[in-house]
Structure 1
């Protein structure tokens, strides 16, 4: 049985997806001063070695797409699943490009149409989210595969 997630404090960089799940987008530096999540996904060139939370590390260099798409998607699906009952954070060094790109993937899992995901994240998270042409290209190839209702259902 799934329980409701503990509440985040107000104004903690929360993104609420259309299905009601919430995820905190963050930079690692900002995250250190906030309430720790129950679970995090960190998109970095090297393992952040967090000791105060359960997390997954996705190898993802700054201003690029993830090193292994399958690893990134599996980690983001897990974060999305856990957001139904835990406080979940997704973050990178700056909290904008890679984090915004990951939140676009999660937005599609949460009900946003694939072709609207980048604009949705820029409106609901950060106006400069998904910073590079490579990140936009990666999303344009990936999101249509995630976008069907049958794929969304398997993510919940």
Structure 2
């Protein structure tokens, strides 16, 4: 995986509008994309519109993640045709966790299964990350 290419993408339904979100290393941020950086040491961290520093294989506080994802969703509602990206170091654990939580916040019934089926089979790498996704799924939108 090169830093130049996103790992994959998901499509969220945000207020009835499809919104495409790429994921991968944050350093694969597509040109013009509005990005959420989860990796504090990313070379392109200064380009992040949203930032939440999460240790590799770690999980953030639920409220902090909900706040940053809520800000992303507000941007998606305002500009559903925009370009959005979520990234960490490799684009699997933390990125998959954030994408799954975005899915939960937009009504995806099984966000863990969904992100592994539509983004990457290895998304969401640790039991702690899986538990955070489950909490978001239980709470929903």
Residue 13 of structure 1 is matched in structure 2 by 8
CA RMSD between the two structures? 2.3
How far does residue 83 in structure 1 lie from its aligned partner after superposition? 2.3
Q: How many angstroms apart in 1 are the aligned matches of 2:128 and 2:136? A: 12
1:92 aligns with 2:88: yes
SS for the counterpart of 1:17 is strand
Aligned length: 130
Q: How many angstroms apart in 1 are the aligned matches of 2:42 and 2:50? A: 9
Among 82, 103, 108, which residue is 1:107 paired with? 103
Partners of 2:8 and 2:23 within 8 A in 1 = yes
SS for the counterpart of 2:52 is strand
Q: How many angstroms apart in 1 are the aligned matches of 2:52 and 2:100? A: 16
Partners of 1:65 and 1:98 within 8 A in 2 = yes
Structure 1 residue ranges, 4+ long, deviating more than 3 angstroms after superposition: 45-51
Among 71, 91, 102, which residue is 2:64 paired with? 71
TM-score normalized by the length of structure 1: 0.73
1:40 aligns with 2:35: yes
Residue 60 of structure 1 is matched in structure 2 by 54
Question: CA offsets, 1:49-88, max 9 Å, x none?
Answer: 644x45121121111111x321211111111221241321
Residue 3 of structure 2 is matched in structure 1 by none
1:80 aligns with 2:73: yes
Q: How many angstroms apart in 2 are the aligned matches of 1:49 and 1:69? A: 25
| Larger CA Rg, structure 1 vs 2 | 1
Q: How many angstroms apart in 2 are the aligned matches of 1:133 and 1:55? A: 28
Q: Which runs of 5+ in 2 are unaligned?
A: 1-5
Q: Which runs of 5+ in 1 are unaligned?
A: 1-10
Q: How many angstroms apart in 1 are the aligned matches of 2:107 and 2:131? A: 21
